[in-house]
Amino acid sequence: MSQYFRIGDQVLWNPSNGVARLFMRSAEALAPETGLPTGLGPMESDECEIDLTAFTAFVGALIDRYERTNHPILHSLMDGFIATALVLVERAGAELPPPGADDGSRRDIQASKESTWPPGGGHVRDAERWAALSARHARAMPR
């Protein structure tokens, strides 16, 4: 059995039931870290409809939270979820909101090796790491 994560008629991911349940529970566990809704609808008839606007805001806020700390355990707990979520954002053809927009900084994060984030330098290593990790996840994520 499997479940579908979709936006309208577009299937973004078709994981097994257990993986889908863990992904959904992980999103709910991480939501308080952002103060935002996850953008993941309820799993009904083996399908989860994604509100792309809310989901991209949630993922962007998670990355912001991640980058504001150097705590290795927090990073480890968030890595897999964020990488998986970045694949869904990329498959949907969406872009994340600029992280740190509230603090006056503007950075673009893209889940691809071609990313030029951040313009003018900064955490380029992090952007490359996210791109590599999400690419590895994408190869293991059936549609």
**Which pLDDT tens digit goes with each residue over 37-93?**
999 999 999 999 999 999 999 999 999 999 888 888 999 999 999 999 999 999 999
Looking at every residue in the chain, the average pLDDT score rounds to: 84
Distance separating alpha carbons of residues 127 and 88, to the nearest angstrom: 17
The pTM score is: 0.81
Which residue intervals of the chain are DSSP H helices? 17-34, 52-67, 72-91, 124-139
Query: Average of pLDDT values for 19-27?
Result: 97
Measured distance CA(87)–CA(41) in Å, rounded:
18
CA atoms within 13 A on the CB side of 143: 13
109 contacts 124 by C-beta, under 8 angstroms: no
pLDDT at 67: 87
Q: Give SS3 for 23.
A: helix
